[in-house]
Amino acid sequence: MTVRQNLGDLLNEIRYRGDSVVITKSGKPVAALIDIELFERLCTLDEEYRCFRGELAQAFSNVPPEKGKTVIDEAVRTARGQG
């Protein structure tokens, strides 16, 4: 199905059925059409993630990278029951 010829139908599928559509070019995915509510949730999550990353970076700015990596690796092993 081509987007240019079927945009109206695709938008209806997305809006009323909650579908999402991956758009390909030369067989490779290049974009997606998704419901606006999902898009807004993704934008909110992205913003929250960026803020969280900034807060973490600030909180651990005085920790040397190797020390941080060691602590993270230990926490991962513990969480996986290997520590």
For 25-69, the pLDDT digits (tens) are: 999 999 999 999 999 999 999 999 999 999 999 998 999 989 989
CA distance 7 to 9: 5
CB 38 within 8 A of CB 17: no
The neighbouring-strand residues paired with 21 are 33
Q: Is the pTM of this model over 0.75?
A: no
DSSP secondary structure code for residue 33 in this structure? E
Please state the domain extents for the chain: 3-34, 38-79
